[in-house]
A and B are shown apart, each in its own frame.
Chain A
Amino acid sequence: MKKSLKPSDIAKPSDCLCHIEQGELSPLPPPYEDFNQATITVLKPEKIKNIESSLDDTVAIGIPKPASPEEEEKLVSQFLSGLKKLFERDNNWTFLQPLMLSMEHCAKCQTCSAACPIYETSGRKEIYRPIFRSEVLRRIYKKYLKPGGRITAKLTGDIDLNWTTIARLAELSYRCTLCRRCATVCPIGVDNGLINHEIRKLFSQEMGIAPKEIHEKGSLQHLRVGSTTGMNSLAAKDSAEFIQEEMEEITGYKVEIPWDVEGADILLLHNAGEMLAWPENVGAFAIIFQAAGISWTLSSEAAGYDAVNYGLWYDDVQFSRVAVKHADIARRLKVKKIVIGECGHAHKALTVIADRLLTGDLNIPRESAMVTLENIVLGGKLQFDPSKNNFPVTLHDPCNIVRSMGIVEPQRRILRKIAPRFREMTPHGVENYCCGGGSGFAIMSGYNFGQWRNLVSSRRKFLQILNAFHDEPQDIPKYVCAPCSNCKGSIRDITDYYHAEERSGLHYGGLVELIINALAGMKKPMIRFGEKPSWEP
């Protein structure tokens, strides 16, 4: 029997602290048995020779290796300085109380472990256990920052602090999707997801260490160009024009997408990724709002056409900057409320987290599109023909909309009205499993991270989806409704990776596409299984 890893082992240098062997991942049912022996492709030595890669089979950040022992020492001391700041009110008022409570009261009962989809599906790899990284941080904090810590560490749990510890801890903070399923089952209320979030913050805010996709090409680009997609305002408007034409072509419905309408009732914030990857989602929103006679607008101002806020996952400062921009744009447009489109983390960022950041006239009312859409669909203004959606549909619950915001039923009430063959996944609602792409994973694919995501972090969701349709013939088309851009990205990737469209007839999309598909009077259906949309090569 293999020796179990302990938290203190993180400090012991080795080429790879944790490796997933063939056959260790949770088995997939037929016709996916050929993936049961799959392992993560080994990274070529030349690709990783200059970066830290000793944690496991993948790399999320790619931290450059320090050039000298002196540099290592400097980084260790920077880490300790950042750790200290996590416990200071001036530096971390945002999460100080939740962090202190979670750091001080864990009973190490392991109830959280079984709730974690990554830990469970990885073959219970110790480093992915929710309390592993928390315990590493707790031990470092107690030993190196608490008075007398070096003595009491012998009694409360010892750990060595060196560059290996830190480099691995930074990487390890990107092996948790922050789905917070672990926190819902903790009998004491400890939140290991939160501790992970704080580790990411320490690295970003003190040491400038974060995955490129999230920081450099993410929040920095968002603030610089206007969108994490790299689209500037002009390009966004061009996309919208294209979407209008496509929508007319597809549905026969002439739609106008309004821009910068001062005094509109609603400022609709889309994840700009929708405009590029799933333009039909943006078009469907436009048709629904127009058909319902709603006064609404998009904003063409930088950041105003992209609802994302990647800071939510790793950096309070970047988070605050983007949230303030969004609110300020709405304030200047004098809209009555902001409605957040199908983007889970944008929901939580602007509605919940920014609620304790925005004051005065920046505190513009904010509403989930699930709620706005329910009001339209069930309000009787629009007529629907549910028989147009006569195919099996299941609903994915984005963690940020459901578990973190309690918006559970509006989207279900819509589906019950327009999708006669809707069925739930097990478990669902606030007990859902993450898509595996949460906290930025969906947009991270450097090195072999995309493969790790498909094989490990999205695996539970894939199993859930297959299970939801287990009673349906394999060859009929099935629809996974995922009202969140990041979740859609992950589900798209697992569908492709496991060839699930060919093998199980799996298709995915948002909620508004289903609404439009059932809308009476449309010339053509919006959902056409097996047909590639015109915007795909």
Chain B
Amino acid sequence: MGFYILSYVCIAVFIGATGCLIYRQITLPLHVRWEIYPVRHETTARVAYGGSYMEEVNWWNNEYKSSHINELKYMVPEILFLRGLWKENRSLWLVSFPFHFGMYLMIATFGLLLLHAVITLGGFPAFTAGNADEALLSGLIAATGWSGLIMGNIGSLGILYKRLTDREMRIYSSFADYFNILFIFIFFLAALITCLLGDPLLEGAKAYTFGLLTGGHSPHPYVPGQTVFGRTTIVLASLLVAYIPLTHMSHMYMKYFLYHKVKWDDAPNQRGGKIESAIMRNLDLKPTWQAKHVGADGQKSWHDIATSAPKEMK
């Protein structure tokens, strides 16, 4: 039961920390535009060369449009295959791609394990051990699991090696950077050994995931906690889930904000619109910058200061 409690706590930390990160982002004041082109939700023709709606005469008379399809056309290969890194930093891509794809496959495996557990829990008669549907799902679990473990091991070891041997990366790497990679590598390694030593079809993972939904009850005779490597895998996987949102590794999902809320945020301010209301709230904020020319005293708002002359002129 101790393992399950650890897992529950870690999942709660993940949800709580991720929730805080997202909450903080969505409650920040609207910032000034700082987009950089190409902005991928532009029209297909403009995306091709990095153009914007501001290339049109009297652009403000046109309806502002944003193409989610074009965003997806860019983001799906970017997220799955790290297209940017492939183009700009090929030697890092060789280790970063298996690392990230290995992680995605582990997330996918966990998703499939959850699906398996839910179906089993539902007691669907068509889904009993050995029948075609169950075999297909189990086969998928084994395939994604093994692929993820192999890629994750290669990738994390490769990144660790790259960080240690590449002078440019080494200079900027701290203890925490090495620790993060080592942590993930040991998780991948422990999980791989667990499977290699007698659980090639991830039966233990299935049983443990089922147990996660039932408070520790498992119909399966084998659970990974029975072996040292199995126990290590459960502990590391749980801790990793809790740890990721506390580090810069949260870029995995915080990238959404970096792209959509900064890099591609080109929405124009229209009179009477939501953006204008947000700007007016911002202009009521009261800065305390100390340089003489600013003339802030904690009482004057941004609006007051922007419409006044610098102190040096008075």
Contacts and interface: CB of A to CB of B under 8 A. Distances in A.
Interface string B18-55: 00000001001111111111110010001001111111
A202 to B, nearest CB: 9
Interface string A514-535: 0000000000000000000000
B52 A208 contact: no
Interface in A347-390: 351-360, 363, 365, 367-368, 370-372, 374-375
B34 A108 contact: no
A185 B88 contact: yes
Contacts of B29: 89, 93, 96-97
A317 B289 CA distance: 10
B31 A94 contact: yes
Given A93-B282, A109-B92, A189-B259, A429 B58 contact: no
Interface in B164-208: 166-169, 171-177, 179
B306 A357 contact: yes
Given A89-B28, A189-B259, A402 B50 contact: yes
B309 A353 contact: no
Interface in B222-266: 248, 250-251, 254-255, 257-259, 261-263, 266
Contacts of A429: 49-50
A91 B51 contact: no
Interface stretch (B4-12, B136-144, B268-276): B268-276
Interface residues of A, number: 95
B36 A101 contact: no
B161 interface: no
Interface stretch (A10-18, A53-61, A154-162, A495-503): A154-162
A357 B165 CA distance: 47
B82 A406 contact: no
B310 interface: yes
A408 B51 CA distance: 6
Contacts of A513: none
Contact of B306 (A96, A224, A317): A317
Interface in A170-222: 180, 183-191, 194, 204-208, 215, 220
B279 A357 contact: yes
Given A101-B258, A185-B84, A223-B309, A406 B54 contact: yes
A186 B258 CA distance: 11
Contacts of B257: 97, 101
B131 interface: no
B34 A194 contact: yes
B58 A91 contact: no
B35 A404 contact: yes
Given A187-B88, A359-B279, A85 B313 contact: no
Among B53, B82, B312, find the residue whose CB has the most chain A CB atoms closer than 10 A.
Answer: B312
A135 B250 CA distance: 18
Given A220-B313, A321-B308, A409-B51, A353 B33 contact: yes
Contact of B291 (A189, A190, A206): A206
Contact of A94 (B32, B266, B291): B32
A104 interface: yes
Interface in B142-166: 166
A220 B266 CA distance: 30
A530 B268 CA distance: 45
B13 interface: no
Contacts of B56: 371
B164 to A, nearest CB: 13
A90 interface: yes
Contacts of B78: 187
A93 B266 CA distance: 17
B255 A189 contact: yes
A110 B293 contact: no
B280 A205 contact: no
Given A188-B258, A317-B305, A355-B33, A367 B59 contact: yes
A123 to B, nearest CB: 14
B280 A359 contact: yes
Interface string A99-111: 0111011111111
A220 B50 contact: no
Contacts of A101: 25, 254, 257-258, 261-262
B82 A187 contact: yes
Given A356-B269, A360-B271, A367-B59, A403 B37 contact: yes
A257 interface: no
Given A371-B56, A407-B52, A430-B37, A97 B261 contact: yes
Contact of A96 (B31, B39, B172, B293): B31
B65 interface: no
Contact of A224 (B58, B258, B270, B313): B313
B54 A405 contact: yes
A91 B34 contact: no
A340 B80 CA distance: 41
Contact of B262 (A91, A108, A131, A191): A191
Nearest to B57: A375
Nearest to A353: B32
Contact of A321 (B33, B283, B309): B309
A324 interface: yes
A228 to B, nearest CB: 14
A105 B251 contact: yes
Interface string B289-309: 111111010000010011111
Contacts of A187: 78, 82, 84-85, 88-89
Interface string A109-134: 11101110000000000100001000
A407 B57 CA distance: 12
Nearest to B177: A108
Given A155-B176, A321-B308, A97 B49 contact: no
B50 A406 contact: yes
B215 to A, nearest CB: 36
Contacts of B55: 370-371, 406-410
27 contacts: A6-B171, A78-B290, A85-B289, A89-B285, A97-B29, A97-B261, A98-B262, A105-B248, A108-B169, A155-B175, A156-B174, A185-B84, A206-B290, A208-B291, A318-B293, A318-B310, A323-B306, A324-B307, A356-B32, A357-B32, A359-B276, A360-B276, A371-B59, A405-B54, A406-B39, A406-B52, A430-B37
Given A89-B285, A91-B288, A405-B54, 11 more contacts: A85-B289, A90-B286, A91-B289, A100-B28, A107-B251, A108-B177, A188-B258, A206-B290, A321-B308, A324-B307, A374-B57
